[in-house]
Amino acid sequence: MSFIEAILLGLMQGLTEFLPISSSAHLRIMGEFLPSATDPGATFTAITQLGTEAAVIIFFWKDITRIIGRWFRSFRSTPDASGEVVASNDPDVRLGWLIIIGTIPIVILGYLAQDYIRDTFRSLWLVAIVLIVFGIILGLADWLGRKVRPLDQMTYGHGIAIGIAQMLALIPGVSRSGATTSAGLAFGYTRVAAARFSFLLAIPAVFGAGLYELVNSFGEPAGFYGYAETAVATLVAFIVGYVVIAFLMKYISTHSFMPFVIYRIVLGGTLLVLLGTGVLQAL
């Protein structure tokens, strides 16, 4: 039964990681309705996110290798093999720096707030409230944002602000992609540009958190689920996550985020009712 639960949780992780509806909130809620009726926990969640983040690397492989390559070449003062000198203000070089700098806030807070991440932040009351609040914020950003700036116009100020917004993803229900995409939309970037930067920015933070939790879990499996179940869930999350990325990038090129906004509000409201009537317990 634990393997079946792990597969279902991996499926949920893959389906929700990249949509602005919070995968950690869905895993937290889903755990209450599985036969084990247990919170999968922050460790299990972080490790399975390694699978979905691997899907990001494969999907955006060309972008990632180009950014890394040009970032390193920008340190050369002489022409490279192609005869080009990559300037420090090159858009790809700037993106490389922004991903590095934008990752620092969540690393610091993630390290300092470990106790809250594993306990207080996982309260279903908090999850329900932030699902609604940040759903409304996403809706307003999508509605009011100018949506004209391409990704190669990302400024240092905007990139750092989006990196700060990423810190909020430590609270289940906020959604990493939701928080960072909302910030990008508020600064006037197109939906595709905001989502693309959101995915690229998440790579070092998610891999760092996942590997940190994996190493710290040695000798003590990820909560209720052992290493085998967690590995299966991670593999399922990778496969499903890749399909979802492809769908989302195509979808937002012609559609708004409003369906996700409505879903978040309905889910948060339903969760409040279940908590208020005693069907679910907050912790």
Interval 99-116: pLDDT, tens: 999 999 999 998 888 888
Coil, strand, or helix at residue 45? Answer: helix
Instruction: Express each pLDDT in 231-283 by its tens digit.
Output: 999 999 999 999 999 999 999 999 999 999 999 999 999 999 999 999 988 87
Within 10 Å of residue 80's Cβ, how many Cβ atoms? 13
Do the beta carbons of residue 146 and residue 247 sit within 8 Å? no
- Strand partners of residue 189: 149
What pLDDT is recorded for position 118? 77
**pLDDT bracket for residue 1 (50, 70, 90):** low
Q: Which residue has the tokens 């084990």?
A: 36
Please choose, from the candidates 20, 23, 1, the residue with its C-alpha nearest in 3D space to the C-alpha of residue 11: 23
pTM above 0.85, yes or no: yes
What pLDDT is recorded for position 50? 95
Q: Output 162 or 41, whichever has higher pLDDT.
A: 162
Mean of pLDDT over the chain: 91
Residue 221, pLDDT > 60, answer no
Alpha-carbon separation of residue 40 from 6, 47, 124, 235, 255 (angstroms): 9, 11, 13, 16, 33
**pLDDT bracket for residue 223 (50, 70, 90):** low
Q: Kindly give, in sequence order, each residue whose CB lies less than 8 Å from that of residue 43, ignoring residues fewer than 6 positions away.
A: 213, 216, 217, 222, 223
Q: How many CA atoms lie within 13 A of 18 on its CB side?
A: 36
Residue 219, pLDDT > 70, answer no
**pLDDT bracket for residue 159 (50, 70, 90):** very high
Residue 226, pLDDT > 90, answer no
Please choose, from the candidates 31, 23, 28, the residue with its C-alpha nearest in 3D space to the C-alpha of residue 51: 23
Cα angle 53-106-183, degrees, rounded to a multiple of 5: 80
Residue 184, pLDDT > 60, answer yes
What pLDDT is recorded for position 76? 82
Please give the span between the terminal C-alpha atoms of the chain, in angstroms, as a whole number.
23
Instruction: Express each pLDDT in 7-32 by its tens digit.
Output: 999 999 999 999 999 999 999 999 88
Measured in degrees and rounded to the nearest 5, phi and psi for residue 189 equal -80, 155
Instruction: Express each pLDDT in 205-217 by its tens digit.
Output: 999 989 988 888 7
Residue 41, pLDDT > 90, answer no
Please choose, from the candidates 270, 268, 261, the residue with its C-alpha nearest in 3D space to the C-alpha of residue 19: 261
Residue 4, pLDDT > 80, answer yes
Do the beta carbons of residue 102 and residue 162 sit within 8 Å? yes
36-65: average pLDDT: 91
Measured in degrees and rounded to the nearest 5, phi and psi for residue 149 equal -80, 130
